[in-house]
């Protein structure tokens, strides 16, 4: 990742992937996943080593869709004599079932739907219905490599910022090691400040990253999702947040809230819209009074 004129638009997220919280599409039960798919017909009697630019590994799943309905389906790369793998263990899909492709030079990220009866496998590319207008940015982020990570800090315009509290962000892929740690070396700390500014976004620092911290590179205009997590008694994480005297939620007490027909006593209300409310002894800021 070389330095460029656009580097100052980059936002680098530093954190670790979550193992106990994963993304599952609402229609995941109607969808199979394969590593690669064909962009041409295949001779299933011969061994293959790559499909659509993907070097196959044992047990990889491959979607064959251009061999005719009697041969189309999902195949598994099995051991074979000589080089490459034999595609076997054919799996057919019910009508309406979808197949997502995770890798490939041409077909990575595509989805295919089975349009015929189970004995006639015919795969057509599936195009998700778009909403009116162009507000589909987040939906496009839930690809096969989407995952959630706990983010501890970020770098922007050459400076590293640590979040007051870790937050959960939507990220993509495995990320890069923030310290240059190699997969076969678990105790490597390449320097107090990691050596590659194109990875860390900073040239020097007075801190150390843990060896398992990963970094994800985004543009500041990219769409994402952020989750802020609070734990504690309901009195602390709900009542005190909304009625004052407790911890802030993302720096807010009751901010931008609409309170209708409520009786608020002794509350701190900041930037709120209050209509039809009885407020006694309240401290109000940003209300226009």
Does the residue 108 lie in any domain?
yes
Residue range(s) defining the domain that contains residue 84? 28-125
In terms of domains, do 154 and 13 share one?
Answer: yes
Length of the chain, in residues: 289
Last residue of a domain, one of 66, 94, 125: 125
- In the predicted structure, residue 69 carries a pLDDT above the cut 70: yes
Residue 78: the pLDDT is 92
**For 166, phi and psi rounded to 5 degrees?**
-60, 145
Q: Could you tell me the two tokens for 81?
A: 């004599």
pLDDT more than 70, % of the chain: 66
Structural Rg of the chain based on CA atoms? 26
Whether residue 242 lies inside any domain: the answer is yes
Please list the residues that pair with 114 across neighbouring strands: 123
Residue 166 counted as domain residue? yes
Residue 39 has pLDDT above 60, yes or no: yes
Choice between 9 and 137, residue whose per-residue pLDDT is larger: 9
* pLDDT mean across residues, the chain: 76
Q: Are both 114 and 163 inside the same structural domain?
A: no
Same domain for 269 and 202: no
In this structure, is residue 2 part of a structural domain? Answer: no
Counting Cα atoms < 13 Å in the Cβ hemisphere of 167 gives: 16
Residue 132 belongs to some domain of the structure: no
Q: Which residues lie closer than 8 Å to 246 by C-beta, 6 or more apart? A: 235, 236, 237, 239, 240
pTM of the full predicted structure? 0.53
Same domain membership, residue 185 and residue 117: no
Q: Taking 50 as the threshold, does the pLDDT of residue 189 lie above it? A: yes
Examine the pLDDT at 282 and tell me if it is beyond 70: no
Domain boundary at 227, 242, 269, which? 227
Q: Are residues 38 and 113 in the same domain?
A: yes
pLDDT at residue number 212: 83
For residue 274, being part of any structural domain is answered with yes
- Does some domain include residue 137? no
**Average pLDDT value for residue range 178-195:** 57
Indicate the pLDDT class of residue 151, thresholds 50, 70 and 90. Answer: very high
* 168, 221: one domain: yes
**Domain shared by 151 and 108, yes or no:** no
Give the residue, 167 or 184, on which the prediction is more confident.
167
Q: Give yes or no for residue 29 having a pLDDT over 70.
A: no
Token pair for 274: 């209050």
Last residue of a domain, one of 99, 125, 151: 125
Give the range among 63-67, 123-127, 193-197 with minimum mean pLDDT. 193-197
Nearest CA to 55 out of 30, 76, 84 is that of: 84
Number of structural domains (the chain) is: 3
Is the same domain home to 204 and 252? Answer: no
Residue 30 and residue 96 in contact, taking contact as beta carbons nearer than 8 Å: yes
Q: Is the pLDDT of residue 237 over 70?
A: yes
């Amino acid at each position: 990742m070389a330095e460029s004129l656009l580097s100052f638009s980059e936002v680098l997220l530093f954190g670790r992937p979550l193992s106990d919280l994963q993304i599952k599409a609402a229609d995941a039960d109607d969808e199979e996943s394969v590593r690669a798919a064909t962009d041409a017909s295949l001779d299933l009697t011969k061994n293959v080593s790559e499909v659509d630019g993907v070097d196959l590994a044992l047990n990889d799943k491959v979607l064959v869709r251009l061999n005719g309905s009697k041969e189309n389906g999902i195949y598994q790369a099995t051991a074979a004599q000589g080089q490459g793998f034999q595609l076997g263990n054919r799996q057919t899909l019910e009508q309406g079932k979808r197949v997502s492709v995770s890798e490939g030079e041409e077909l990575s990220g595509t989805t295919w739907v089975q349009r015929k009866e189970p004995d006639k496998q015919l795969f057509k590319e599936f195009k998700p219905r778009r909403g009116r207008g162009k507000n589909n940015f987040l939906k496009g982020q839930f690809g096969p490599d989407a995952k959630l990570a706990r983010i501890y800090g970020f770098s922007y315009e050459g400076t590293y910022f640590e979040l007051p509290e870790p937050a959960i962000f939507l990220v993509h892929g495995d990320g890069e090691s923030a310290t240059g740690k190699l997969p076969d070396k678990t105790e490597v700390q390449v320097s107090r400040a990691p050596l590659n500014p194109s990875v860390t976004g900073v040239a020097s620092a007075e801190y150390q990253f843990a060896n398992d911290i990963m970094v994800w590179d985004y543009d500041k205009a990219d769409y994402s999702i952020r989750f802020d997590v609070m734990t504690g008694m309901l009195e602390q994480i709900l009542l005190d947040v909304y009625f004052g005297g407790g911890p802030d939620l993302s720096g807010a007490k009751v901010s931008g809230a609409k309170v209708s027909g409520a009786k608020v006593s002794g509350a701190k209300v900041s930037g709120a819209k209050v209509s039809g409310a009885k407020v006694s002894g309240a401290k109000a800021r940003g209300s226009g009074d």
